[in-house]
Amino acid sequence: MALFNRQLCLESRPMGVPSEDNIRLRCTSLCRPGPGQVLIQNLYLSMDPAIRGWMSEKPSYMAPIELGEPVRGSTLGRVVESAHPDFQIGDIAFGLACNAWEDFSLTPAEQLVRIPANPPFPLSYYLSIFSPVGLTPYFGVLDIAKAKPGDTMLISAAAGAVGSLAGQIARIAGCRTVGLVGSDEKCSWIVDELGFDGAINYRSCTDLTSAIAEACPEGVDSYFDNVGGEVLDAALLNMNNFGRIVFCGAIAQYNNEDAVPGPFNYWQILARSLTVRGYMAPEFEGRFAEAREALGRWMSEGRLVFAEEVVDGLENTVEAFSRLFSGANKGKLMVKLRDISEPPPTIDQIREAVAQELSHA
Amino acid sequence: MALFNRQLCLESRPMGVPSEDNIRLRCTSLCRPGPGQVLIQNLYLSMDPAIRGWMSEKPSYMAPIELGEPVRGSTLGRVVESAHPDFQIGDIAFGLACNAWEDFSLTPAEQLVRIPANPPFPLSYYLSIFSPVGLTPYFGVLDIAKAKPGDTMLISAAAGAVGSLAGQIARIAGCRTVGLVGSDEKCSWIVDELGFDGAINYRSCTDLTSAIAEACPEGVDSYFDNVGGEVLDAALLNMNNFGRIVFCGAIAQYNNEDAVPGPFNYWQILARSLTVRGYMAPEFEGRFAEAREALGRWMSEGRLVFAEEVVDGLENTVEAFSRLFSGANKGKLMVKLRDISEPPPTIDQIREAVAQELSHA
């Protein structure tokens, strides 16, 4: 069996939602790990809206993906060769935003996290509930919003992966939770299945500001914002004095290449003595174990509902990714490249593939 | 000696800068305080731009001044009669936006703040450096920006009353301070006279973002924002991770009747894990004494430069007030009605004046 690496590479910078015109499948040769590196065979790819940002040229908290390079992302896989003493062949490990949409990733060992042998949860959890998707709402709700019993927390994109967890964690913390979603079906889902106290379909209501006021009769103490834009403007007009805005995302602007203005009601931040705090999970890296323990416990107690949607096959990745932006997905979206029961390539196969490639060079 | 109250009353709503056609001197009789009230003989009137707003008909955060009523304002005076146990005859007290341009004000005791006997500072301080003009930058720099030695703090409207104090307080806290101002003359003033480490004329520089980067080679740890708009956008692109933005004002939008968008670089709040915090001085009311002690001490040590301009005589009030709008004043403008060494009316004189008035009625 010829062994090579299939990679989804960024061919051109997308305008709007990325398509297969922007991202092409290429077959490339395999490389063996250099000192300190580990070769991972990917089992799961994580589909995250942030990846869209890295496809643009404008600098953000991470450098743009270079044209021609595979699309950067978080993956979970198994070690097939290692040049670092902490990783052995057969170990399962994941890497956040350091691997790519490809069969094999070559990764510096210090960017990988090994999963304990025989984990009590499905492997996919490590890219979903235990990844930034769960860690981000955990710290956003508890540390940034400083959720406390009796608070009203408003959550945008509340049927999304982060938003649905934010609302449930806020509820565990004793908050009254109201979610903003894009369909009546999602309204029912977050209230009936996730235990939100209220839900608003922002697409169908005529006056979002009034709709929030009605759903939050005591005002909004904290707003967990994944969206930005007009929804943020409506939320600002409902904030209680000294309220907190957790700035976790701004999905409304990710596919917009033009300059996007900040909220028109920015003045309310002063008028209501609000705090707006941007953050990302790595700020709390020292407490990830605490968070994973709590999230895992809540899952096993049935207090957290967390939907996963797993699409099969690298060849379906671009289409799957585009669904993040049409609202078609429900829960954390991942692409499964292969099952763990499928035998991994042996070290001899890898060496042979690399040797063949070198002989062609 | 006949005892009466001279009042400057609003006769008509001004178009543009108020003149003596709009505000007339009237002599009215004295009233004795009802339960809970205090009769104050005013020593100083505070001239504040906000008063112009109350002369208009459109509602703001305070009701408009009624036609025929004396012009509302902040004053400092001495108690000449009291119907509240907390205030004794001879006490010195001030009231913010609850008294008026008149010799005597009748004020609910809870709106007055008593000054300690034999205050170590000039009485005028209580309407200038000890008013929100000094309290706002004090708490903004120390509590909101959390200024600490070695930080770089950027300040907009740095030659204004609040901005000039913010920069000086930040410097006392050990920060490197860079001010944004609107003229080269102001640049020289804040560096040479106020001790700012750097100054940028935002009107004359071609690329404000680069100009800030050059003046703040280690980035900006906190930005004290009085301005909003384009200046805020340029500041956002220079913030260090985990930086703080003190949202104290947004002068850029005050005269704009259209909807004004928030910063185009709002996304940077997330990308750089920034905190934006709106606030107003009353949030820190419980610590005003601490702030006044510190501000007064810094003034007496010569570490704070804060200009006052005092005009003599109630009859010169309208002309003095108009100078706020021509830019002719330099520093905090006040009108002095009488010196504290001038003997106050006795309680018997007041009672006689009121009794005479009642017998005429």
Q: Write the CATH number for A352.
A: 3.90.180.10
Indicate the pLDDT class of residue A330, thresholds 50, 70 and 90. confident
The answer on A48 and A116 residing in a single domain is: yes
Residue at a domain's end among B300, B318, B341? B300
Rg (chain A; Cα; Å): 21
For residue B97 the two structure tokens come to: 């936006």
Mean pLDDT of chain B: 92
Judge: A279–B273 Cβ closer than 8 Å, yes or no.
Answer: yes
Residues of B in contact with A60 (CB under 8 A): 267, 271
The answer on A141 and A119 residing in a single domain is: no
End-to-end CA distance of chain A: 20
Q: Give the span between the Cα atoms of B187 and B198, in whole angstroms.
A: 8
The answer on B268 and B244 residing in a single domain is: yes
Residue B2 pLDDT > 70: no
Rg (chain B; Cα; Å): 23
Residue B139 pLDDT > 60: yes
Per-residue b/e over B46-70, b at no fewer than 16 CB within 10 Å?
bbbeebbebbeeeeeeeebbeeeeb
Give the model confidence (pLDDT) of B59-80 as tens digits: 767 889 999 999 999 999 999 9
Give the model confidence (pLDDT) of B10-51 as tens digits: 999 999 899 999 999 999 999 899 999 999 999 999 998 889
DSSP states of B319-356 = HHHHHTTTT---SEEEEE---TTSPPPPHHHHHHHHHH
Residue A120 pLDDT > 80: no
Neighbours of A150 (CB within 10 A): 10
pLDDT at position A67 is 97
The answer on A294 and A145 residing in a single domain is: yes
Give the least confident one: A77-81, A356-360, B112-116. Answer: A356-360
Residues of A in contact with B246 (CB under 8 A): none
Residue at a domain's end among B264, B283, B300? B300
Q: What is the CATH number of the domain that holds A183?
A: 3.40.50.720
Judge: A275–B275 Cβ closer than 8 Å, yes or no.
Answer: yes
Give the least confident one: A132-146, A158-172, B323-337. Answer: B323-337
Residue B256 pLDDT > 70: no
Give the model confidence (pLDDT) of A53-62 as tens digits: 999 998 777 8
The answer on B267 and B321 residing in a single domain is: no
The H or E element spanning position A329 is none
The answer on A144 and A116 residing in a single domain is: no
The answer on B138 and B47 residing in a single domain is: no
pLDDT at position A287 is 96
The answer on B157 and B26 residing in a single domain is: no
Give me the numbers of helices (H) and strands (E) for chain A, helices first please. Answer: 10, 15
The answer on A250 and A338 residing in a single domain is: no
Is A119 or A82 the better-scoring residue by pLDDT? Answer: A82
Q: How far is B117 from chain A (nearest CA, A)?
A: 34
Q: How many domains does chain A have?
A: 2
The upper half-sphere exposure of residue A295, i.e. CA atoms within 13 Å in the direction of its Cβ, equals 27
pLDDT at position A361 is 56
Which pTM was predicted? 0.83
The answer on A292 and A143 residing in a single domain is: yes
Per-residue b/e over B219-242, b at no fewer than 16 CB within 10 Å?
ebbbbbbbbbbebbbbbbebbbee
Mean pLDDT of A196-202: 97
Size of interface A-B (CB pairs under 8 A): 96
The answer on A146 and A56 residing in a single domain is: no
Is B276 or B331 the better-scoring residue by pLDDT? Answer: B276
* ipTM computed for the complex: 0.85
Mutation for A interface: B156, B247, B272, B283, most A CBs within 10 A: B247
- The domain of B42 spans 5-128+306-360
The answer on B296 and B178 residing in a single domain is: yes
Q: Which residues face B178 on adjacent strands?
A: B154, B198
Judge: B278–A265 Cβ closer than 8 Å, yes or no.
Answer: no
For residue A298 the two structure tokens come to: 């809540």
Residue at a domain's end among B300, B323, B341? B300
Mutation for A interface: B61, B245, B266, B272, most A CBs within 10 A: B266
Mean pLDDT of chain A: 92
Q: Is the dihedral of CA B102, B105, B110, B115 positive or negative?
A: positive
